[in-house]
A and B are shown apart, each in its own frame.
Chain A
């Protein structure tokens, strides 16, 4: 098997993933129509979210994540937490602020923010505990549960940054701290995975090779078990932080543009 053959043949859309994608697009169109607006640029974000979701689960990324490559699993994991949820939130139509809402209820208060942050960080850490990681790599039901939980936790994490209602978003300067702390927590996990002398997920050491892809992966791609885990760790370490860094810059940009008038009174909150 060559790389091209792998990329062309290792697709496993099944029935559920396409149905989910079509359902999501339909629900989106319905919601936009009900809010009385037409499809605009935001729809592109939403469509991208659906596309990423499809690729993460049905493309070779998803196939290799099922027991073949830890690094593919990590890529899938990152797409589900760092790409799909923010794109969904960006895609949702903007809602106007409720004038009666008190300032304090914004973004759910400190406790809500702490929970959202924990959800984002837990989505990275918890599923890399060895028994959970192994189960998700081998048992389809667990994998479905993992996928759902990652998207949900990702949505919880990104909501204070990108919520469709401006009053649900946290102040931009606090958002920087929120994102930076998350970046630091993921970096620590990335460092552990990259430098760990033992396997994080032992399921990936001896895959059941139904595709016949192992000679390609281990040989041509040079991904021994150790190298595979190293790539996974580096994915968690470097590109992840670039995503958070971009979000931080976007928040700072939002602050300077002054999108949130309630912040002009000054002071870091």
Chain B
């Protein structure tokens, strides 16, 4: 395995060439790569593959709906089709495509050699195709999942979804979710720790900024989905009671957990697209972005608000008027920062020297389509309108305008924009225009009419419809539009394939753009840059070609204080990643703990069987291990090897004792016939303490590795950042246990 060390930074190129590319080329080179550019391309190509599958499913759906009372596919197949289409497009196409661009472009834009953790980057990527395979394996195991992309309980529970489709859906999403979190932590660490000198947060290209904010959203939102998924899996596989009313569980809880993830997910898919548009429109308008601060700041506002408005997906679930009112207000509020951005982009174009390349045409169309999707979104924020049109084709039209008219258009714009950088060749503009117009016509024909179908009352997710006045014609128009989109994708694919061989050679900077990725060759060499240009503003390449002019985006106070060459040191990447991981894990445990509290708050009786004193003793062991680890860190930093190894060993031993205690407790309960499916209490108890135990086990493995390294003398004399990172994780796991112990055990004695 080749090892890439991004900290080498700007080391001589030949060293890198020998390092990661010379050794392996061809297929093995791609499979074993840890180069962020190749991984980015792998993401994009794999996403394109799944886009073809998801698109094919969409065409089948539209064929079935083309005529009233059609029986081309049976209802069960139709359920599987729309479930797979939705899941595929969201988790296997849009998210990976955006991550692919982030992987390729972000390190280049910040003048870095690679991502912060190249090998973790490769792992994150490979979890994606394997997750996709797992999802599709369900077809061979009795049928695809058929409960819709949000798998509402109790439909997704065993009595109503008896094939293994939903199990594979859960497993696939868990695998994909873990990969996404890994990728997000990598992006966070990369942006924080690997920026070129002079590239302050203030000067970050907006694509980097929005990808960074998105990564934070992913790190915080995906774990809540993961928590919900493991609960569903425990329900299905171990007969537990989380979401089944018959065992005292709550189906609404699934909706809460899913949309806690699901609404930020909307912005996870939208914010990077906003970032792309914020790069493309200025370049093809020949003007800096209008109101950089507003665009960047409103992104943060969107990210925060996105966590507070999920219940607007549940207006029809009967939360009550008071909750509906609160979430309607929150949902309307989030439209404000999003709307501000649209005006920023328009103002950027205003008075600019517009160049309508295919990329710019897609970006311009994005503005219009996204505004339509945004406006129909605001209508949904009003709860009464939502009751009227939820689960109709009006909703289908709305989110396709956001996700296709918004995100997919931005991805196409970005493809035409960055393809020259990635391949060294230009995409053909004539074919590009054909692709653009076919997409615009096909897309609007497909989805605009669905607004009317929805208002006329046509429900989504029903396999056919009666021959009511107008329905057949509008559906036929929608189907024709879908096939025009299908043709447009073929034109696009042909353009890519043909341009890769015969396209015009691009050169370093074909668009005359301003950000750092254009300061290197196309495609960039494995080490990215021979020399990173000095960064004195938000548009370093503009400064290069306009020496002596006042650069835009310079901090007002900088002149007085500027000390050339003096840069505040970036924090250590391992520590940043550890903190990001802790933030992410907090989301996971908050979901589990709140679920425990929700189900057990009104009764103490069931938890009374627990042996508080014995567990209390083991708790002391775990807490003591935090102390010994702290001492181990101190001795390692001061170079006292023997004491360091001793305390590390003690930490490991105390952790093992704790795990032994938990195993003992479990065995005792099992002997008394108490299992996960005994009651709602045992369901929540075993899941919460079990996942904590799993985290302790992972911590023990990490400590074991460190101990081995310590005995091999590989940690060196300097304070070890790896030790610090593992230490943070271990302390975090202890803090989680304090919460779990208080909520589960101490509550009974107090």
Residues of A within 8 A of B (CB): 173, 176, 180, 183-184, 187-188, 191-192, 194-198, 227, 230-231, 234, 237-238, 241-242, 244-245, 248-249, 252-253, 255-258, 261, 264-268
Given A198-B602, A230-B323, A253-B293, A266–B304 Cβ distance below 8 Å?
Answer: no
Among B199, B202, B322, the residue within 8 A (CB) of A227 is B322
Closest 10 A-B residue pairs measured CB to CB?
A266-B200, A265-B568, A261-B557, A256-B293, A267-B568, A234-B326, A238-B326, A258-B555, A245-B304, A264-B555
Contact residues in B for A192 (Cβ distance below 8 Å):
594, 597
Specify the chain A residue showing the minimal Cβ separation from B293.
A256
Contact residues in B for A258 (Cβ distance below 8 Å):
202, 555-558
Assess the B304–A264 pair: CB atoms within 8 A.
no
Most buried by A among B200, B304, B556: B304
Assess the A187–B307 pair: CB atoms within 8 A.
yes
24 contacts between A and B (CB under 8 A): A176-B300, A197-B601, A198-B601, A234-B326, A237-B308, A237-B326, A238-B308, A238-B329, A242-B333, A245-B301, A249-B301, A252-B293, A252-B296, A253-B293, A256-B297, A257-B556, A258-B556, A264-B555, A265-B567, A266-B200, A266-B201, A267-B192, A267-B568, A267-B570
**How many angstroms from the CA of A21 to the CA of B241 in the assembled complex?**
55
**How many angstroms from the CA of A227 to the CA of B200 in the assembled complex?**
49
B289: min CB distance to chain A, Å:
13
Please tell me if B327 contacts chain A, counting CB pairs below 8 Å.
yes
B389: min CB distance to chain A, Å:
24
Please tell me if B22 contacts chain A, counting CB pairs below 8 Å.
no
**How many angstroms from the CA of A197 to the CA of B253 in the assembled complex?**
13
Give the contacts of B284-321 with A (CB-CB under 8 A).
293, 296-297, 300-301, 304-305, 307-308, 320
Specify the chain A residue showing the minimal Cβ separation from B199.
A266
Q: Mask for B27-58, Cβ within 8 A of A = 1, else 0?
A: 00000000000000000000000000000000
Contact residues in B for A180 (Cβ distance below 8 Å):
304
Contact residues in A for B327 (Cβ distance below 8 Å):
238
**How many angstroms from the CA of A256 to the CA of B570 in the assembled complex?**
19
Assess the A266–B568 pair: CB atoms within 8 A.
yes
Among B192, B297, B308, B598, the residue within 8 A (CB) of A187 is B308
**How many angstroms from the CA of A238 to the CA of B566 in the assembled complex?**
43
**How many angstroms from the CA of A265 to the CA of B333 in the assembled complex?**
34
Contact residues in A for B195 (Cβ distance below 8 Å):
266
Specify the chain B residue showing the minimal Cβ separation from A230.
B322
Q: What size tier do the contact residues of chain B reach?
A: 35 or more
Please tell me if B569 contacts chain A, counting CB pairs below 8 Å.
yes
With A188-B590, A230-B320, A266-B198 known, 6 other A-B pairs at CB within 8 A are: A188-B594, A191-B594, A195-B598, A252-B297, A264-B555, A267-B192
B579: min CB distance to chain A, Å:
10
Given A238-B329, A241-B304, A264–B293 Cβ distance below 8 Å?
Answer: no
Given A242-B333, A261-B557, A267–B569 Cβ distance below 8 Å?
Answer: yes
A47: min CB distance to chain B, Å:
28
Contact residues in A for B256 (Cβ distance below 8 Å):
195
Contact residues in A for B300 (Cβ distance below 8 Å):
176, 248-249, 252
Contact residues in A for B199 (Cβ distance below 8 Å):
266
Give the contacts of B558-574 with A (CB-CB under 8 A).
558, 560-561, 566-571
Assess the A183–B304 pair: CB atoms within 8 A.
yes
Please tell me if B472 contacts chain A, counting CB pairs below 8 Å.
no
**How many angstroms from the CA of A192 to the CA of B597 in the assembled complex?**
8
Assess the A253–B297 pair: CB atoms within 8 A.
yes
B194: min CB distance to chain A, Å:
11
Assess the A264–B594 pair: CB atoms within 8 A.
no
Given A237-B308, A249-B297, A267-B569, A197–B602 Cβ distance below 8 Å?
Answer: yes
B501: min CB distance to chain A, Å:
43
Residues of B within 8 A of A (CB): 192, 195, 198-202, 256, 293, 296-297, 300-301, 304-305, 307-308, 320, 322-323, 326-327, 329-330, 333, 555-558, 560-561, 566-571, 590, 594, 597-598, 601-602
Contact residues in A for B555 (Cβ distance below 8 Å):
258, 264
**How many angstroms from the CA of A192 to the CA of B594 in the assembled complex?**
8
Specify the chain A residue showing the minimal Cβ separation from B305.
A245
Given A249-B301, A256-B202, A264-B200, A241–B308 Cβ distance below 8 Å?
Answer: yes
**How many angstroms from the CA of A121 to the CA of B577 in the assembled complex?**
25
Assess the A266–B567 pair: CB atoms within 8 A.
yes
B200: min CB distance to chain A, Å:
4
A111: min CB distance to chain B, Å:
15
Specify the chain B residue showing the minimal Cβ separation from A252.
B297
A195: min CB distance to chain B, Å:
6
Contact residues in B for A253 (Cβ distance below 8 Å):
293, 297
Contact residues in A for B561 (Cβ distance below 8 Å):
261, 264
Given A192-B594, A237-B326, A256-B297, A264–B558 Cβ distance below 8 Å?
Answer: yes
Contact residues in B for A230 (Cβ distance below 8 Å):
320, 322-323
Contact residues in B for A264 (Cβ distance below 8 Å):
200, 555, 557-558, 561
Specify the chain A residue showing the minimal Cβ separation from B535.
A266
**How many angstroms from the CA of A176 to the CA of B256 in the assembled complex?**
26
**How many angstroms from the CA of A198 to the CA of B600 in the assembled complex?**
10
Most buried by A among B323, B333, B570: B323
Assess the B601–A196 pair: CB atoms within 8 A.
yes
Contact residues in B for A183 (Cβ distance below 8 Å):
304
A110: min CB distance to chain B, Å:
13
A231: min CB distance to chain B, Å:
5
**How many angstroms from the CA of A248 to the CA of B301 in the assembled complex?**
8
Contact residues in A for B202 (Cβ distance below 8 Å):
255-256, 258
Contact residues in A for B323 (Cβ distance below 8 Å):
194, 230, 234
Assess the B571–A267 pair: CB atoms within 8 A.
yes
B18: min CB distance to chain A, Å:
32
Specify the chain B residue showing the minimal Cβ separation from A196.
B601
Contact residues in A for B571 (Cβ distance below 8 Å):
267-268
Assess the B201–A173 pair: CB atoms within 8 A.
yes
**How many angstroms from the CA of A227 to the CA of B326 in the assembled complex?**
13
A97: min CB distance to chain B, Å:
14
Specify the chain B residue showing the minimal Cβ separation from A265.
B568
Contact residues in A for B569 (Cβ distance below 8 Å):
267
Contact residues in A for B590 (Cβ distance below 8 Å):
188
Contact residues in B for A197 (Cβ distance below 8 Å):
598, 601-602
**How many angstroms from the CA of A238 to the CA of B334 in the assembled complex?**
12
A200: min CB distance to chain B, Å:
10
**How many angstroms from the CA of A258 to the CA of B598 in the assembled complex?**
45
A171: min CB distance to chain B, Å:
11
Contact residues in A for B329 (Cβ distance below 8 Å):
238
Specify the chain B residue showing the minimal Cβ separation from A200.
B601
Given A231-B322, A241-B308, A248-B304, A265–B201 Cβ distance below 8 Å?
Answer: no
Contact residues in B for A267 (Cβ distance below 8 Å):
192, 200, 567-571
Assess the A265–B322 pair: CB atoms within 8 A.
no
